[in-house]
Amino acid sequence: MGLDQGNAQFGVFSGKRVLITGHTGFKGAWLTAWLQHLGAEVTGVGLDPVTEPSLHTVMALGSSIRDIRLDIRDFNALTKIVEETRPDFVFHLAAQAIVSRSFTDPLYTFETNVVGSINLLESIRQAGKPTQVVMVTSDKAYSNQEWVWGYRESDRLGGHDPYSGSKAAAEMGIASYVDSFFGSNSGIRIGIARAGNVIGGGDWSADRIVPDAVRSWRSAKQLVVRNSRSTRPWQHVLEPLSGYLTLASRLASDPAIGGEAFNFGPEIPEGRSVADLVMRLERGLPGLTWTDRTEPHDLKEAGLLQLNCEKARSLLGWRSVLSFDDTVDITCDWYSRFFADEASALRITRDQIERYTDLRSQAG
């Protein structure tokens, strides 16, 4: 049932050529699995997975797609792939996405997130083929004022840390390409997606709270939490991915939304602190223990961050459907099932995609 309902909602992708940058990453692997499930012909370009294990590897995605290792900072190589693929849809997820790494390697962060984004857009411009492009940036692109209401797409962009600054700078570059080259008559339609903090099964990234919690749980060691009071718009990875798919499908049918940015996040009351998340993880990962970090650190991070997603609701008909508890339960379920049978990663992932698709259909 889930696959039929998913095809009804996102049938536009069946049989289409889809290019995903960053397909070896956490979100990229989930998106690759979903698009395969929908019958798309997927080409992925990205670096080797940076974690061991990685979701891309345990699902063996490389055997069922065109799997290309490529650094998006390499303009000539990227241009060749775009020209060969001639994609109908492009999802740009490739990024240096770890905030802590942006402090230790800011140059790489800016090169990947800014220059990499422009390389892709220029490759698409030179190819000249009509296509729908979703450029994924981040909710961290907003100039964070630590206020209690959610940021709207019209709010000022900025960044107090290299990661946030790189995402804001990338958006300025994207906007300039839209205004200069990708008008309504170009056939190339660009949508910008800003998502909140995502969690879900199969994430083994460094310095992220859920992977850190899973590693502590598996090793029976206490989890040390850096900023337990920080509030984030936590959401399951399938929520923003459904937003990206919705945006791409609407770009194909509605030129008016080309060049627009959209927030994809949970309902504002669902914003929870890191401590809330860890306490909920304790229920799904029995035996997990944790403590606050006592020694000071010098990473400047947002303390309070929420998104207003009314624009996506009104113009795209999109909204989140999972509660905070559902989000954590599904995440813990993935890891529990995986460690019981590590060969079943793809089956678990597809099962959760189908269950989520059913929930979206039931929610209308």
What is the fold of 14-206+234-273+302-327? Rossmann fold (3.40.50)
pLDDT digits (tens, 9 = 90+) for 249-268: 999 999 899 999 999 998 76
Q: Is the pLDDT of residue 302 over 70?
A: no
pLDDT reported for residue 1: 41
Average pLDDT of the segment spanning 220-245: 92
Q: Is the pLDDT of residue 300 over 60?
A: no
pLDDT digits (tens, 9 = 90+) for 119-137: 999 999 999 999 999 999 9
**Alpha helical stretches, state H, 254-323:** 274-284, 310-311
What does the alpha-carbon distance between residue 293 and residue 291 come to, in Å, rounded to a whole number?
A: 6
pLDDT reported for residue 69: 97
Which of 29-33, 200-204, 265-269, 348-352 has the weakest average pLDDT? 265-269
Give the rounded percent of residues in the chain with a pLDDT score beyond 70: 93
pLDDT digits (tens, 9 = 90+) for 150-184: 889 999 999 889 999 999 999 999 999 999 999 87
Whether the CB-CB separation of 121 and 75 falls below 8 Å is answered with no
Of the CA atoms within 13 Å of residue 201, those in its CB half-sphere come to 27
pLDDT reported for residue 5: 46
Q: Is the pLDDT of residue 4 over 60?
A: no
Please state the φ and ψ torsions of residue 42, each to the nearest 5 degrees: -100, 130
Q: Is the pLDDT of residue 296 over 60?
A: no
Please list the residues that pair with 292 across neighbouring strands: 225
pLDDT reported for residue 290: 95
CB atoms within 10 A of CB 124: 25
Q: Is the pLDDT of residue 270 over 80?
A: no
Report, in this order, helix, strand and coil percent for the chain, each rounded to 5: 50, 15, 35
pLDDT digits (tens, 9 = 90+) for 311-351: 999 999 999 999 999 999 999 999 999 999 999 999 999 99
What does the alpha-carbon distance between residue 214 and residue 216 come to, in Å, rounded to a whole number?
A: 5
pLDDT digits (tens, 9 = 90+) for 49-93: 989 999 999 999 999 999 999 999 999 999 999 999 999 999 999
- For residue 212, which amino acid is it? D
Which of 102-111, 223-232, 289-298, 302-311 has the weakest average pLDDT? 289-298
pLDDT reported for residue 160: 85
Q: Is the pLDDT of residue 7 over 60?
A: no
Domain map (residue ranges) of the chain: 14-206+234-273+302-327
- What DSSP line would sit under 164-227, residue for residue? HHHHHHHHHHHHHHHHHH--TTSSEEEEEEEE--EE-TT---TT-HHHHHHHHHHHT--EEES-
Q: What pTM, to 2 d.p., does this model score?
A: 0.93
pLDDT digits (tens, 9 = 90+) for 8-27: 679 999 999 999 999 999 99
